[in-house]
Amino acid sequence: MDPIKIQKIQAMNKYQKNHPIWFPSLWSSINAFLFVSLPNIKALVFTPKCLFIICNIIVVFLIGESKLVGSKSSPDTELYEEYIRSSKTYQRVSTPQVMKKEKEMKLEVSLIEESVKRVAEEEVKEEEKEVLLVDAEHEQEQEEVEEEEEEENGLPAEELNKRVEDFIARMKKQRRLEAGLLVSSASGY
């Protein structure tokens, strides 16, 4: 074989591998659709009669879906109606056994609340005892500090006593606030 013919055959084989046989026919079909059929369809669809019919179909569909014509309810009203139905069925089911169970549950809840209150009160009492002990310790420390300051600074005893009393009052107030917060958080359960 001639070397030129071999090169031609190889080139044709490479071309066929890169571009499948069906590709040119697909491309020509797409071209025919876009440039021949589509303009004809556009001309048909955009005539006044066709546009009038399409618009009327859209209007009828929208009216059918609107709340003015349809009797569909909103999710809010559906939830409310379901709540009413469930409450009516609950009222019908109220038998003596159900009422007895409800009373037992209420009794258990009240007992639990009372126990929580007692525990909270005990914790408050313990906290108050701790506060009193801490206050006593602070008073002793403060007196010692006052005596030392008195000796060092030579401040009058009345002024030192006033400072100590102010300090103790602030500490007691702070402890009461903490105890009140503890009680309010315990009763919240």
CA distances from 126 to 93, 96, 117, 175, 187 (A): 48, 45, 14, 12, 17
- Predicted confidence at residue 134, as pLDDT, reads 79
Examine the pLDDT at 21 and tell me if it is beyond 70.
no
Q: What is the pLDDT of residues 133-159, one digit of tens each?
A: 877 887 888 777 777 766 665 567 788
Q: Which tokens is 42 given? A: 């556009």
pLDDT band at 57 (very low <50, low <70, confident <90, very high): very high
Model pTM score: 0.26
Examine the pLDDT at 163 and tell me if it is beyond 80.
yes
pLDDT band at 58 (very low <50, low <70, confident <90, very high): very high
Q: What is the mean pLDDT of residues 50-63?
A: 89
The set of residues, in sequence order, having a beta carbon less than 8 Å from that of 160 and lying 6+ positions away, is 146, 149, 150
Which has more pLDDT, 31 or 60? 60
Examine the pLDDT at 99 and tell me if it is beyond 60.
yes
- Predicted confidence at residue 143, as pLDDT, reads 79
Which has more pLDDT, 181 or 76? 181
Examine the pLDDT at 161 and tell me if it is beyond 60.
yes
The set of residues, in sequence order, having a beta carbon less than 8 Å from that of 70 and lying 6+ positions away, is 64
Q: Is the CB of residue 171 less than 8 Å from the CB of residue 101?
A: no
- Predicted confidence at residue 133, as pLDDT, reads 82
